[in-house]
Amino acid sequence: MQQQRLHRVLCLTGLYLAALLGACGPMGSDRSTSDSPGGVEAPKGSVLITGVAIVEAEHDAVTAPQDILMVDGFIAQVAPAGDIDPDAANHVVAAEGLFALPGLIDVHAHIGDGGLGAQSQADREGALAQFLRYGVTTIFVPGGGGGNDDNLALWKQRCAAHELPCPRIYGSGALITAPGGHPIGTIWDLPIDIDEATVYARGAVTLAEDEAVEPLLDRKMGLGVDAIKIVIEDGPGPWYPKPRLSRDKILQLVTASHERNLQVFAHVSRTYHVEDALAAGVDGLMHSSEDPIDDSLLRQMAQRRVFFVPTLSLYDGFIDQAFGRFEQEPYAIAGVSGRALRSLEDEDFRHQPGDTEEEALAYEAILQDNLRRAVAVGVPLALGTDVNNPWVFPGYSAHKELHLMVQAGLTPAQALAAATGGGAAFLRAESTLGCLDPGCVADLLLLTHNPLTDILHSRSMYRVFQGGQIVPGVVAEQP
Ligand SMILES: [Zn+2]
C-alpha cells in the first residue's frame, strides 16, 4: 500500500519535473539584484510542494502533511495540505508521502575533493557541485585549501552570479596562525621562513607576537569575510612542538574581532587549547579534543553558547588513512569525485606504523564521549566535517557525520538539528537558513523516508531544492 502510494507520487512528480526543468533551465538562468544569504541571488518564479510532512528536528517530530509555497527563492507560505491554491504557483511538485528537511549546512568545509595530491581549479569547482548533489546547500569555509580572503570573495561572487553550481558560501578567508605554526609547518610541510605570499595562496596568514591585529582584521573585513578562524595548536600529534599564537595574541584577536562584530572560531586539538580558546571568549570550536574535555569546560560552553563542531568525519578519515582502507561505501562511490577516490589508493599513504585497531577504537571512544557529554550539558552543536582532509568528501561527509553522531549516542533528531538549525545559528542566520518557515530561503530536501526513525534516511533524497530551484543529479540511496 505504502509502496503503491509512493510510486504514484514519484510518477506525478516526474511529470512536473519535466515542466519545471524546462521552465527554469540550468540553475541561475534567472538573475535578480536582491541580497540574500550566502551571496546567492534569488531566482524568480514560484513552486508549490504539496502534501509533504515537515521534519522538525528540534522537536523530534514530523508535521501533518503541509503545502509549501516557494516564491523567488524564498518560502512564502506554509499551510495544511490543500489550503494553498495550486494556481498560486508556476509549478507544482506533488510530495504526498515524502518528508521535507531544510538543506544541510556543513560549517567546516574546505573547498576540495577530499583526495590526496594537488587539486586543480576544476577539482575545486567539482567539489562545490558535489556538495549540492548530496543536499548540502550551505557551507562555511574556514581558510586552508586555497581559501584565502581574495579567493573567498571570488567564489562568493562567481556563485552569486551563477557561473557554477555551488552551495551558499560563508567563510573566514585565510585562517590566522603563528609563523611556522599549524598547518604551515605541519600538514603543509613548509619551512618556518616561508614567504607570506605562498602561505596566503594556501589559505593562511601569519601573525607574529609583535604584530598588531587591527590592520589584519580590517583588511579581512574589507574583503567581506563572515567570521575569523584562528589556530590554537602547538602540534598536532606527530609535529609537536610547533609555534602557536600566544594567549595574549588570541585575546587581542578575539577582542578586536568582536569590536568589529565578527565571530571567532578556533581550531583546537587538545583540552588545554579548549581552555585557552574559552578564556579568550571565542564563539566556537572547530574540532573536538583528542583527549577528554573537562565537564567544567563543557558547562562553560553551554552557558556562554559557544558552538561545538565535532568533525567526527575527520577523525574517522584519519583511521581510514592509518589502516589504508579504500572507500567501500556505495553511497560515497556513487557520487564522490573519481580523482579523489583513486588518489587514496596511493600505496605511500597506507599502513602508518604504530596504529593498532585497539588504539583506533580508544581514540574514537574519547571523541564520542566528548560529544555525548557536550550534548548532555546543552552545548550548542553545529555539523562540520572538515571536508578536503583525506577521506572527507564534499557532501557525502555530511551524511556520514550525521551517522557518526548517531553512532556516538545522539538521536537522529539531535544530529539533524545540528545539521540544519544548529548550522544556521552558528552562522547567525537562523531567521533565513536551516528553517522551513515563511521568510526562510527555499533550500530543502525531499526525502522518501523519515530521517527521525533512521539517520541513514537522510540519504533517501528524492529532490534537492536550492533557492527554490531543483538541483540536478542528486546522489540518493533508497533503503
Ligand atoms: Zn579544517
CA dihedral 368, 371, 374, 378 (to 10 degrees): -130
C-alpha 331 to ligand 1 mean position (Å): 23
Kindly state whether residue 135 falls inside one of the protein's structural domains.
yes
Shared domain for 348 and 316, answered yes or no, is yes
pLDDT for 357 equals: 83
C-alpha 1 to ligand 1 mean position (Å): 46
Cell matching residue 288: 573536538
C-alpha 319 to ligand 1 mean position (Å): 17
C-alpha 394 to ligand 1 mean position (Å): 13
Kindly state whether residue 203 falls inside one of the protein's structural domains.
yes
Shared domain for 32 and 133, answered yes or no, is no
Total domains in the fold of the chain: 2
* CATH number, domain with residue 320: 3.20.20.140
Neighbouring CB atoms inside 10 A of 29's CB total 12
Cell matching residue 355: 596504529
Kindly state whether residue 479 falls inside one of the protein's structural domains.
no
Shared domain for 95 and 207, answered yes or no, is no
User: Strand 227-231 and strand 263-267: pairing?
Assistant: parallel
C-alpha 116 to ligand 1 mean position (Å): 15
Kindly state whether residue 475 falls inside one of the protein's structural domains.
no
Shared domain for 371 and 415, answered yes or no, is yes
Kindly state whether residue 160 falls inside one of the protein's structural domains.
yes
pLDDT for 300 equals: 98
C-alpha 372 to ligand 1 mean position (Å): 22
Cα–Cα distance measured from residue 401 to residue 384, given in angstroms and rounded to the nearest whole number: 8
Shared domain for 115 and 92, answered yes or no, is no
C-alpha 388 to ligand 1 mean position (Å): 8
Kindly state whether residue 187 falls inside one of the protein's structural domains.
yes
Q: Of 431, 464, 446, 419, give the one whose Cα is nearest residue 165.
A: 464
Q: pLDDT 10s digit of each residue in the chain, 479 long?
A: 333 322 222 222 332 333 333 222 222 222 233 345 565 556 678 999 999 999 999 999 999 999 999 999 999 999 999 999 999 899 999 999 999 999 999 999 999 999 988 899 999 999 999 999 999 999 999 999 999 999 999 999 999 999 999 999 999 999 999 999 999 999 999 999 999 999 999 999 999 999 999 999 999 999 999 999 999 999 998 899 999 999 999 999 999 999 999 999 999 999 999 999 999 999 999 999 999 999 999 999 999 999 999 999 999 998 888 777 888 999 999 999 999 999 988 756 554 544 688 888 899 999 999 999 999 999 999 999 999 999 999 999 999 999 999 999 999 999 999 999 999 999 999 999 999 999 999 999 999 999 999 999 999 999 999 999 999 999 999 99
Contact 465, 70 (CB under 8 A): yes
Neighbouring CB atoms inside 10 A of 372's CB total 13
C-alpha 290 to ligand 1 mean position (Å): 15
Cα–Cα distance measured from residue 295 to residue 376, given in angstroms and rounded to the nearest whole number: 10
Q: Of 1, 4, 204, give the one whose Cα is nearest residue 110.
A: 204
Q: Which domain does 391 fall in, by range?
A: 104-426
C-alpha 75 to ligand 1 mean position (Å): 32
Count of residues in the chain: 479
C-alpha 333 to ligand 1 mean position (Å): 23
H/E element, 437: none
C-alpha 338 to ligand 1 mean position (Å): 22
Neighbouring CB atoms inside 10 A of 302's CB total 17
Kindly state whether residue 476 falls inside one of the protein's structural domains.
no
* CATH number, domain with residue 63: 2.30.40.10
Shared domain for 408 and 344, answered yes or no, is yes
pTM assigned to the model: 0.91
Shared domain for 159 and 295, answered yes or no, is yes
Shared domain for 243 and 198, answered yes or no, is yes
Shared domain for 288 and 171, answered yes or no, is yes
Shared domain for 375 and 463, answered yes or no, is no
Q: What is the pLDDT of residues 270-321, one digit of tens each?
A: 999 999 999 999 999 999 999 999 999 999 999 999 999 999 999 999 888 8
Cell matching residue 314: 575527520
Cα–Cα distance measured from residue 395 to residue 313, given in angstroms and rounded to the nearest whole number: 12
**Amino acid code (one letter) for 84:** I
Shared domain for 128 and 48, answered yes or no, is no
Shared domain for 92 and 132, answered yes or no, is no
Kindly state whether residue 432 falls inside one of the protein's structural domains.
no
Cell matching residue 477: 540511496
C-alpha 286 to ligand 1 mean position (Å): 8
C-alpha 31 to ligand 1 mean position (Å): 33
